[in-house]
């Protein structure tokens, strides 16, 4: 297998994105403090949200998906495949989970490399051959290698905090009465809205780039980019034949899936967490040509 190369572009984008978000939130906090929203309640609320996100995010993902951790005895071929790619890439062996749905997909979660989980659906095991499934597993392990789950969890916290600060500042349910008039409240709402929207867009941009980076990293792990390219095309094609009702049941997992269960219309694609499958396949096949 090819040697995994760290993606400096991904690292640079994450650093810049978090710097922009931090500056934006400093402005937001300054506005809240100016209009009498208490500093201590803000710190308490943000701290609690950070702790909750950090400690429970992976458990929430597993609970939401319904995926169950499995053993080597239950799924020897799948377990061996994950073990092979993880060991060759210098990663600790993650837990392996299976999600019982006909929707062909996969995801990774976990706060750290040592506590990570790689999950696949029963549908994807029925859809892909061994080489294609290995390519998908390598893609998910590349997310773990890049610590994408932790980064996205922390990044999504920014937009969540903006929403709750806006809500509590508006209703005064946590911070008490503001010493300013209605004009001040309008300014707080505007600043909060802008903060939330910019956070939302930055998170989407990070998420789309992380998919390209995981494709590239996964292809480097196996040394066979074409296998992942074929897998993406096959998953995408099969997904279109899955009943809409089944896709809607797993829609909440779209940010984590290798391909979203529901791609939506043209407008929703502007805010998508994933780049177009066709572009991902093109980039992977360019890697094949360059080998």
The beta strand positions in the chain, using DSSP E, are 68-70, 95-99, 106-109, 117-121
Per-residue pLDDT for 240 more than 80?
yes
DSSP bridge partners of 69:
97
Whether 140 is catalytic: yes
**Structure confidence at residue 173 (pLDDT):** 40
What three-state secondary structure class fits 164? helix
**Structure confidence at residue 211 (pLDDT):** 93
Contact criterion met (CB below 8 Å) for 69 and 117 = yes
Per-residue pLDDT for 1 more than 90?
no
Strand order in 117-121's β-sheet?
Answer: 68-70, 95-99, 117-121, 106-109
Catalytic residue among 132, 134, 140, 211: 140
Q: Summarize the confidence of residues 53-69 as an average pLDDT.
A: 82
Calculate what percentage of the chain has a pLDDT beyond 90: 40
Q: Closest Cα to residue 225, out of 101, 139, 130? A: 139
Q: Summarize the confidence of residues 144-163 as an average pLDDT.
A: 73
**pLDDT confidence bin for 7, thresholds 50/70/90:** low
Can you give the residue ranges of every domain in the chain?
8-290
Determine which of 72-76, 103-107, 114-118 has the lowest per-residue pLDDT on average.
114-118
pLDDT digits (tens, 9 = 90+) for 21-58: 667 666 766 666 666 656 566 667 666 766 766 677 77
Contact criterion met (CB below 8 Å) for 203 and 157 = no
Per-residue pLDDT for 176 more than 70?
no
Determine which of 79-93, 118-132, 184-198 has the lowest per-residue pLDDT on average.
184-198
Per-residue pLDDT for 269 more than 80?
no
**Structure confidence at residue 32 (pLDDT):** 63
**Structure confidence at residue 141 (pLDDT):** 96
Q: Summarize the confidence of residues 51-70 as an average pLDDT.
A: 82
Q: Summarize the confidence of residues 166-191 as an average pLDDT.
A: 59
Q: Summarize the confidence of residues 192-204 as an average pLDDT.
A: 77
Q: What are phi and psi of 164, to 5 degrees?
A: -70, -35
Strand 68-70 with 106-109, pairing: unpaired
Instruction: State the chain's mean pLDDT as an integer.
Output: 80
**Structure confidence at residue 206 (pLDDT):** 82
Per-residue pLDDT for 249 more than 70?
yes
């Amino acid at each position: 297998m090819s040697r995994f190369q760290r993606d400096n572009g991904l690292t640079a984008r994450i650093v810049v994105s978090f710097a922009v978000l931090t500056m934006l939130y400093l402005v937001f906090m300054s506005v809240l403090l100016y209009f009498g929203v208490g500093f201590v309640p803000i710190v308490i609320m943000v701290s609690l949200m950070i702790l909750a996100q950090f400690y429970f995010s992976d458990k929430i993902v597993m609970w939401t998906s319904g995926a169950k951790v499995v053993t080597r005895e239950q799924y020897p071929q799948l377990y061996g495949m994950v073990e092979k790619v993880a060991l060759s890439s210098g990663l600790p062996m993650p837990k392996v989970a299976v999600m019982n749905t006909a929707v062909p997909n996969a995801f990774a979660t976990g706060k750290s490399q040592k506590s990570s989980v790689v999950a696949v659906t029963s549908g994807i095991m029925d859809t892909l051959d061994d080489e294609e499934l290995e390519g998908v597993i390598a893609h998910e392990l590349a997310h773990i290698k890049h610590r994408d789950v932790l980064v996205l969890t922390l990044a999504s916290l920014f937009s969540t905090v903006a929403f709750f600060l806006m809500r509590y500042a508006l209703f005064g349910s946590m911070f008490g009465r503001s010493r300013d008039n209605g004009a001040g409240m309008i300014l707080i709402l505007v600043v909060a809205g802008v903060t939330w929207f910019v956070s939302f867009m930055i998170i989407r941009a990070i998420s789309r780039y992380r998919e390209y980076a995981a494709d590239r990293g996964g292809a480097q792990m196996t040394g066979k980019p074409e296998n992942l390219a074929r897998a993406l095309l096959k998953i995408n094609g099969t997904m279109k034949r899955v009943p809409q009702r089944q896709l809607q049941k797993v829609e909440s997992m779209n940010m984590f899936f290798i391909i979203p269960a529901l791609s939506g219309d043209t407008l929703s694609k502007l805010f998508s967490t994933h780049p177009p499958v066709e572009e991902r396949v093109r980039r992977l096949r360019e890697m094949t040509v360059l080998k």
